[in-house]
Amino acid sequence: MCGGGDGGAAESRQMEIDRQNRIKAGIAAVNDAFRGFDDNFYAKQKNTYSQWARPQVARQYNQALDQLRYGMARTGLGASSAGAKAKADLTYELGVQNQNVEQQAREYEQRSRQNVEMARSDLIGQAVSTTDPTAAANSALSRATATSAGPAYTPVGALFQAASPIVVNNMRLQQFNPNLGMNMGWNNNKKDDSGKVVS
């Protein structure tokens, strides 16, 4: 008699054991496919973005500096205090933009971690529900390959607007009219509430 007279209980137990073994095999296949996603992988994701973005920031900075120098020389502001402040502000902005690059790099690193973990968890769920270790292994290899590419980068936008011809022209106007109301950040001759000029 099937089940040796135990009403099929032994067979049911064996089927459950086999099912659990298939689930374990599927989970192991998923974890094996995602083994390479370690701290070194995520650090590489961060560094790759930095290496991609920093040259763009440097190129825009050099272009802005050349533009600022040309504009100041053309308007006779090259040796002025306003010109010196403009260069200093541009250098400060370079530091800010480089910090932004590093912040964005950390965000890409974190996003990579989240994407990998979501993919791994999803595949483990599939391995449990389908109990097909072969399918789990194939899906895991496919998802791991796709995920290893990392997130798409957002292009670096236009930076260093302070070096635009408009700003250089405003600096020239300010030289002749220190009381000119400007919102560009170049007015060194500010007044306090009493009307006294302060630096």
> Under the phi-then-psi rule, with left for phi > 0, alpha for psi from -120 to 50, and beta for the rest, what region is 49?
alpha
Whether 46 is covered by a domain: the verdict is yes
Q: Is residue 53 part of a domain?
A: yes
Q: How many domains does the chain have?
A: 1
- Tokens 């998923």 correspond to 30
- Evaluate whether residue 168 is within a structural domain: yes
Q: pLDDT (tens digit, 0 to 9) for every residue of the chain, 199 residues total?
A: 444 567 678 888 999 999 899 999 999 999 999 999 999 999 999 999 999 999 999 999 998 888 888 877 777 766 777 778 888 888 999 999 999 999 999 999 999 999 999 999 999 998 888 888 888 888 898 989 888 877 778 888 888 775 555 455 555 545 544 444 444 344 444 445 554 444 4
**Is 198 within the bounds of a domain?**
no
Question: What is the rounded distance in angstroms from the CA atom of residue 22 to the CA atom of residue 16?
Answer: 10
Domain range holding 121? 11-175
Return d(Cα 15, Cα 196) in angstroms, integer: 91
Q: Report yes or no on 51 lying in a domain.
A: yes
Rounded CA-CA distance 42/163 in Å is 36
Task: Name the DSSP letter for residue 6.
Answer: S
Task: Give residues with Cβ within 8 angstroms of 102, minimum separation 6.
Answer: 50
184 within some domain: no
18 is a domain residue: yes
In a domain, 58, yes or no: yes
- Taking the whole predicted model, whether its pTM rises above 0.75 is answered as no
Which is nearest to 146 in space by CA: 166, 122, 129? 122
CA distance 26 to 21: 9
